[in-house]
Amino acid sequence: MQILIDDKLSLRAVTVEDAQSVFALTDTSRSTLREWLPWLDMTTKEEHTRSFIESNIAGFKENKCLSTVILFDGKIVGIAGFNNINHANETVYIGYWLSKEAHGHGIMTRATQALCQYAFEELQFNKVEIRAAVDNTKSRAIPERLGFVNEGTIRSAEWLYDHFVDHVVYGMLANEWTKTP
């Protein structure tokens, strides 16, 4: 599965062959990513990334999730996808992360927009949901920029190393979706 966004940016289903590159990117972005992602301390070897990828490939085959690498100028700069696909409720839950070096180019907004388009137009789902920590302003800016509705806050939604963080829940319905923000 591949989504071409423009001449510089695309999404491609993650493969086991990506493990080394994804781990290296994770490792070099560790201090930035750790602020908001709870799994960094458990991802200390390439084998951990390989296991994550294998799990996602199995989940994709079972139609439960979709994990893609974000390619910018042919280089992996992050991960984005559907952390969960809920067929009963026709809802996908988008998650993403981007290397610090790739920030500021609109990459994640365009990648998320492409995933929304895929969810609504290809999968014919009814809803896309994105959750982000209340204080994670960069992550929250993505759904806000794309016109998602702030549906509320879940208190103590996630344990982040030594404290709980609240999550803002954003939703977009199929009948609200437009291709351009």
pLDDT of 40 reads 81
Report the DSSP pairing between strands 127-133 and 91-98: parallel
* Sequence spans of domains, the chain: 2-126
Residue with tokens 């996602």: 56
pLDDT of 39 reads 86
- Calpha distance 100→86 (Å, rounded): 31
- Whether residue 106 contacts residue 99, with contact meaning beta carbons closer than 8 Å, is answered with no
pLDDT of 155 reads 97
- Whether residue 60 contacts residue 3, with contact meaning beta carbons closer than 8 Å, is answered with no
Question: What are the per-10-residue average pLDDT scores of the chain (181 residues)?
Answer: 93 96 92 85 90 93 95 96 96 95 93 96 96 96 96 96 96 84 52
pLDDT of 82 reads 97
Q: Name residues whose C-beta falls within 8 Å of residue 146's C-beta, 6 or more positions apart in sequence.
A: 109, 112, 113, 116, 172, 181
The pTM is what?
Answer: 0.92
Closest to 40 (Cα-Cα) out of 57, 21, 23: 23
Computed from CA positions of residues 9, 12, 14, 18, in that sequence, does the dihedral angle turn out positive or negative? negative
CATH superfamily of the 2-126 domain: Gcn5-related N-acetyltransferase (GNAT) (3.40.630.30)
pLDDT of 179 reads 57
Closest to 68 (Cα-Cα) out of 142, 11, 139, 114: 11
Q: Name residues whose C-beta falls within 8 Å of residue 83's C-beta, 6 or more positions apart in sequence.
A: 65, 93, 94, 95
pLDDT of 43 reads 87
